[in-house]
Structure 1
Amino acid sequence: MNVCSAHRNCIQISLSLYLNPLAEDTGNGEKTGEKFGQVEKTELDAHFENLLSRADSTKNWTEKIFRQTEVLLQPNPSSRIEEFLYEKLDRTVPSRPNNEELLGHYMQDAAKDFGPGTPYGSTLIKVGDCERRLGSVQREFLQTSAISFLTPLRNFLEGDWRTISKERRLLENRRLDLDSCKARLKKAKLAEMCLSLPLSCCPAAFQLWSEEVDKAEHELRVAQTEFDRQAEVTRLLLEGISSTHVNHLRCLHEFVEAQTAYYKQCHLHMQDLQKELDSSNGDVFPNAFAGNPGHSMASGGSSPLDPASAVETDTLKIEEVQAPATGTRKAKVLYDYDAADTSELSLLADELITVYTVPGMDSDWLVGERGNQKGKVPVTYLELLS
């Protein structure tokens, strides 16, 4: 094809720009054609943008909930790292006792050393057994929560979300191709228009650019088709986020049910333990937890140091109370105590007194005797001797 020399340079410059619509690399990793205003960017519709925003929000919050649930179920960061490594190596995590089970084991071993027949040793055995049961309940709760809640969240982050991210990147590449084709067609049409004026002297050049325009239009149609197809695939995946929310909602209900069952079982075990201690240690402590000065107040009872409450709960006439034939105990006074009224007995630290309980008496108090003196004494001020 012969092209007039007057337009050869113009055609070469135009052809160079046409074949590189996004322009040359400026040397710092930036394409001049990617600068704002030089390439027309294909915009997504508002609905599509909303789907993208909803998907990003779902991913970010799911990731935060997943990480914090891991911390809740396994507070030890070293153990979490160990479990992660075993999981990546596709190996089973070694079974180790949890904190409750370990505590129960120590208590029962201590009971063997102190003597299981002693009050302290027998109580250690009971409490240790309860701790081990609590540990077993916790282990079951962790396994259930991991399967019903953590695993679905992980599957979304490592499965569905990776697929969505891959298709979004592919859509972005299709958009860049489409924008490139639009820019190329625009420049080809501009060159064709410029050469249409001197048509009489350079018909070959005009014909060249007409062919380039046709070619650019064909490439644009192909790029538009591929972009539309990829946009539809990505849109369907993004709309699937709604079903993901429904699935995670079901998993959340199962997680709450697992927590409810866990705390209920723990509460029942502790109630049984408390009843067992109250019944078996009645001959040691009128109240199994009387050694804790704050127990009666924490449980809603009255303070043993409140004389008004003592009068209300104990209407017995101390002078008429007789010591039982059996069941009296020696007790060492821990602190000085001044009697609030004539029904009580004043105490001096480190002295020994005889104590016993009578039916109908407040469990935070005992009857104490010192020689011919007798009166109510607070249990928290005493150390009962076997």
Structure 2
Amino acid sequence: MNINLPHFNMKNLVKEAGSTISRVVQLTEEKLGTTERTEYDLHFQNLAERADVTKAWTEKLVKDTESVLIPNPQNRVEDYIFEKIDKSKPKRVSNLEHLALDMIEAGGDFGQDLPYGQALIKVGQAEQKLGQCEHDFIATSGICFTQPLRKFLEGEMKTISKERGILDSKRLDLDACKNRVKKARSMLGQQSKDGISPEAALEQAERDLRVAQAEFDRQSEITKLLLDGISTSQASHLRHLHAFIQTQVRYYKQCGDVMEQLQRELAKLSTRHQQQVSCTLCRMVPVPSLS
């Protein structure tokens, strides 16, 4: 119930309170099975069910994708808050990058000229590249997939839920008016009550019913149009899914390229080390005397 103090209107307040009470009574009687209710047509029910399924699965897909991209739930919550307040997300060092830094530092301490130290540094540098690839993948996936789906949930689906709620209220108003008309008809032929004749009461109830029916029909059409729009939204979601897969393919290819390059560099180090060992052994072996 909204009360705008600068334009407070007691008549509107009473009318809104009366409508709320009428809806509560109507809903209670429906749950008790003591009154009839207007049922939505089969097409509308199918659209509404599809909307509910779409909402539930989209929420789960967004949550699951974000769990894959950012496994730490605390980081996901932190990123969501930063996104809401329009601030850039903090730059975090991933576990992979922590490993890379430690490998590079260990390689330096073990000796950059020694095989193990050289290998550790090479591997650490490769892990750093993988870490950057991971950052790029997470950022791009958010832009091309999870953010559009979340925007759909927070925009279009919220609007649909709001309009469906209004439609339910209009439906309760309509059925309450239908019941008042039935009651007024049953009173025909009886004495006037509270100075209002049964005929006048019926005429007023029928006017209210016509208004309620018109408002219900109008809201029903609005809601149907929004529900029909989900098909268009799913076509957009399909494009976002393709973009996500392209991002994933590019990410794994970049990682594969980094690892293949690392393998070649490690193989060169190994060959060089073997050659150094062979030369050292050659110098150590005494040359036999010819005499």
TM-score (norm: length of structure 1): 0.63
Relative to structure 1, the CA distance from residue 214 to residue 270 in structure 2 (aligned partners, 3 Å threshold; closer, same or farther) is: same
Q: Report the Cα distance in structure 1 between the residues aligned to 2:171 and 2:23, rounded to whole angstroms.
A: 19
- The C-alpha deviation readout for 1:105-134, integer Å capped at 9, x for no partner, is 111111221221111111111111111111
Distance 1:208 1:265, change over 3 A: same
Please state whether the residue corresponding to 2:271 is helix, strand or coil: coil
CA distance in 2, matches of 1:23, 1:68: 43
Q: Is the contact made by 1:23 and 1:33 (CA closer than 8 Å) also made in structure 2? A: no
Alignment partner, residue 118 of structure 2:
122
Partners of 2:124 and 2:278 in 1: CA distance:
35
In structure 2, what is the equivalent of residue 244 of structure 1? Answer: 233
Judged with a 3 Å threshold, the aligned counterparts in structure 2 of structure 1 residues 99 and 263 are, in CA distance, closer, same or farther, namely same
Measured in 1, the distance between the counterparts of 2:158 and 2:258 equals: 44
Q: Is contact 1:149–1:255 with CA below 8 Å preserved after alignment?
A: yes
State whether structure 2 residue 109 is matched by structure 1 residue 113.
Answer: yes
The answer for unaligned runs of 5 or more in structure 1 is 1-18, 196-201, 287-323, 330-353, 355-386
Distance 2:103 2:127 in 1: 9
Structure 1 residues 159 and 39: CA distance shift in structure 2, 3 A: same
Q: Could you tell me how far 1:38 is from its partner in structure 2?
A: 2.6
Q: Which residue of 2 aligns with 1:255?
A: 244
The count of corresponding residues between Structure 1 and Structure 2 is 264
Q: Which of the residues 187, 193, 205 maps onto 2:183? A: 187
SS in 1 for 2:82: helix
Which of 55, 59, 81 is matched with 1:59 structurally?
Answer: 55
Structure 1 position 138 matched with structure 2 position 134: yes
Code of the aligned partner of 2:57 = W
> Which SS does the other structure have where 2:273 is aligned?
coil
Distance across 1 between alignment mates of 2:176 and 2:216: 12
Compared with structure 1, are the counterparts of its residues 221 and 54 closer, same or farther at alpha carbon in structure 2 (3 Å cutoff)? same
> 1:205 & 1:260 partners in 2: Cα distance?
78
Cα distance 1:32–1:235, how it changes in 2: closer, same or farther (>3 A)? closer
What is the DSSP-based 3-state SS (H/G/I as helix, E as strand, rest coil) of the residue aligned with 1:244?
A: helix
**Do the aligned partners of residues 46 and 90 (structure 1) sit closer, same or farther apart at CA in structure 2, a change above 3 Å counting?**
same
Question: Do 1:23 and 1:32's aligned partners in 2 also have CA atoms closer than 8 Å?
Answer: no
Q: Deviations over 1:347-377 (max 9, x none)?
A: xxxxxxx9xxxxxxxxxxxxxxxxxxxxxxx
Residue 97 of structure 1 aligns with an amino acid whose one-letter code is V
Matched, 1:50 2:38: no
Which residue matches 2:72?
Answer: 76
Percent of aligned positions that are identical: 45
Does structure 2 retain, via aligned residues, the 8 Å contact 1:73–1:142?
A: yes
Task: Work out whether residues 86 and 93 of structure 1, in 8 Å CA contact, stay in contact via their aligned partners in 2.
Answer: yes
Structure 2 counterparts to residues 13-28 of structure 1, below 5 A: none
Shift, 1:204, TM fit: 10
- Report the structure, 1 or 2, having the larger helix content: 2
What code does the residue aligned with 2:203 have? D
Q: Which residue in 1 is equivalent to 2:220?
A: 231
The one-letter code of the counterpart of 1:58 is: T
Matched-pair contact (CA < 8 Å) for 2:115–2:273: yes
Q: State yes or no: 1:162 paired with 2:158.
A: yes
From 263, 280, 283, the equivalent of 1:274 is 263
Aligned twin of 2:89 = 93
1:232 maps to amino acid: E
Structure number with greater Rg is 1
Report the TM-score, using the length of structure 2 for normalisation. Answer: 0.83
Counterpart in the other structure of 2:8: none
Give the letter for the 1:242 counterpart.
S
